[in-house]
Chains A and B, each alone.
Chain A
Amino acid sequence: MSTATALKPSLSTAPERNQSAEKMVQQLREIFADAPELGKKALENVLREIKEQVSEAPPPPIESAGRVGARLGKRSELTIIVPLAPGGAKRLRAFLRLLGGNLNKGDKVGSLHDMRFVFFDSDTRLLFATSFDGDWDPYIDDFVTSIPDYLDIIDSAWDGWPGIRHPGAKDYLARHQITAEGWYVAHPDLTVAEIHRLKRIGKALEEFLDKVG
């Protein structure tokens, strides 16, 4: 972490960064010229802070996760909103309730950090949102090969869903996905696999220290 920060300033010179900070502040003031009073006031309060941040160390940019979605470092977001078929919400709710809202089968998908199912608009729509490692295509493939039956049960509640083995399945998913306009991750460089590795190292170190101590 400290190494990465130390390396960043070499990428652009200080005057360049100050210039881009000035430009950013100006842009923000223009955007908020007709904002509600509360927003305008708050902006002035945070502007100095933002300016400092920009001149300090430019953070890595948000990139595309491939076909659709945003990626920061190694971490991507998937946000899908689908219309539910008649009776679909009732079925899917019953299924998820039986599992106690606990989807530990997600462990089989080695690139999955977190995942939620949220019903809204009077149970006519479902939000499916995940955070995962890497690019969209291999991630979807990972899901399909790891837990196909669970996907069939869940997705059979979706209106117009062609089935995960159908050649049009990925098009359906991409069509219903909405790329986030803003995406933040606390540890953008840690994949699921790397976190598991770090957990093992942490445990081994504790054991080691126990033996020494």
Chain B
Amino acid sequence: MATQTAIANRPKQDLAVEQQIQKLRQIYADAPEMGRVALEKIMGELEAAVYSQLKASTAGRIGLRQGKVSELTAIVKFTSGGAKRLRALLNVLGNNFQGADKVGTLHDMRFVFLDNDTKLLFATAYDGDWDPYIDDFATKIPDALDVLFCDAEGYPGMHSPAVRDWIAGNQITADAWYVASPNLTVAETKRLEKVGGAVEEFLDKIG
């Protein structure tokens, strides 16, 4: 049934893709020449990509998800003196983010200072949906988060019921999101690491 519908819709879909591609060409008509030329070069690939309809999905309340891995990107204002304190804190901590290991759903995380230390960019790649991810942080390492974000303007504290709205209010959903291994969670990667080690040991023993 589903297949039949797909076949019946095919000409309609072709038309829609053609229209989309045509529209993109129009939008790129006033692009710098290098952009226009490159667009024509990849037109075939682009059409194929549009047909395949492998779209990034939503991570729930906000953010994009690719397979099992989602992105969170937030930009917040520092309180006065806040950047200085957070920089000093990060310097002392080095990469002592064992709290993040404890959460267990975090692939990577960065703190970047913007616009002459007036703003903080916080960007992570994590497993699954937004709500359980935030829950995880709030229940496992609320104090560590309060230490890190107490100098962000308006931060209500991880124990406050307002914290979710505050995070979502400062988060900006990416327009595109790529993950090399979208089906591997942090836990599955860890498991594979163990399997790899065990297989090597096994081969050593019989070799």
Assuming the A-B contacts A98-B21, A156-B34, A199-B181, are A186 and B106 also in contact, with contact meaning beta carbons closer than 8 angstroms in the complex?
A: yes
Question: Does A28 count as interface, using CB distance less than 8 angstroms?
Answer: yes
A61, B90: Cα distance in complex, Å: 12
Find out whether the CB atom of B87 lies under 8 angstroms from the CB atom of A129: no
Chain B positions within 8 Å of A36 at CB level: 79, 150-151
A152, B157: Cα distance in complex, Å: 43
A127, B115: Cα distance in complex, Å: 13
> Which of B91, B110, B155 is the one whose CB lies under 8 Å from A180?
B110
> Which of A41, A81, A100 is the one whose CB lies under 8 Å from B56?
A100
Contacting B at CB under 8 A, from A35-71, are 35-36, 38-39, 41-43, 45-46, 49-50, 53-54, 59-62, 70
Find out whether the CB atom of B174 lies under 8 angstroms from the CB atom of A116: yes
In this complex, how many residues of chain B approach chain A with their Cβ under 8 Å: the count is: 94
Assuming the A-B contacts A99-B46, A201-B199, are A42 and B85 also in contact, with contact meaning beta carbons closer than 8 angstroms in the complex?
A: no
Of the listed stretches B1-9, B97-105, B131-139, chain A binds B97-105
A79 to chain B, nearest CB (A): 5
Chain B positions within 8 Å of A184 at CB level: 95, 97, 100, 106, 108-110
A202, B198: Cα distance in complex, Å: 11
Assuming the A-B contacts A101-B64, A102-B66, A104-B54, are A50 and B96 also in contact, with contact meaning beta carbons closer than 8 angstroms in the complex?
A: yes
Question: Does A115 count as interface, using CB distance less than 8 angstroms?
Answer: yes
Q: Scoring B residues 31 to 70 as 1 if CB is less than 8 Å from chain A, else 0, what string do you get? A: 1101111110110011001100111100000001010010
> Which of A45, A62, A156, A182 is the one whose CB lies under 8 Å from B38?
A156
Assuming the A-B contacts A186-B186, A187-B190, are A99 and B112 also in contact, with contact meaning beta carbons closer than 8 angstroms in the complex?
A: no
Question: Does B107 count as interface, using CB distance less than 8 angstroms?
Answer: yes
Name 16 A/B residue pairs within 8 A (Cβ), A-sorted.
A35-B85, A41-B146, A49-B99, A53-B98, A59-B95, A61-B95, A62-B95, A99-B46, A101-B55, A114-B178, A114-B180, A115-B176, A178-B114, A182-B90, A184-B106, A202-B195
Given contacts A59-B95, A115-B176, A180-B110, 20 further A-B contacts (CB under 8 A): A27-B88, A31-B89, A32-B85, A34-B81, A46-B143, A79-B121, A81-B114, A91-B28, A99-B49, A102-B66, A103-B178, A117-B176, A119-B172, A149-B38, A153-B38, A185-B108, A190-B193, A195-B189, A196-B181, A198-B196
B residues in contact (CB < 8 Å) with A: 20-21, 23-24, 27-28, 30-32, 34-39, 41-42, 45-46, 49-50, 53-56, 64, 66, 69, 71, 73, 75, 79, 81, 85-101, 106-114, 121, 123, 125, 142-147, 150-151, 155, 157, 172-181, 184, 186, 189-197, 199
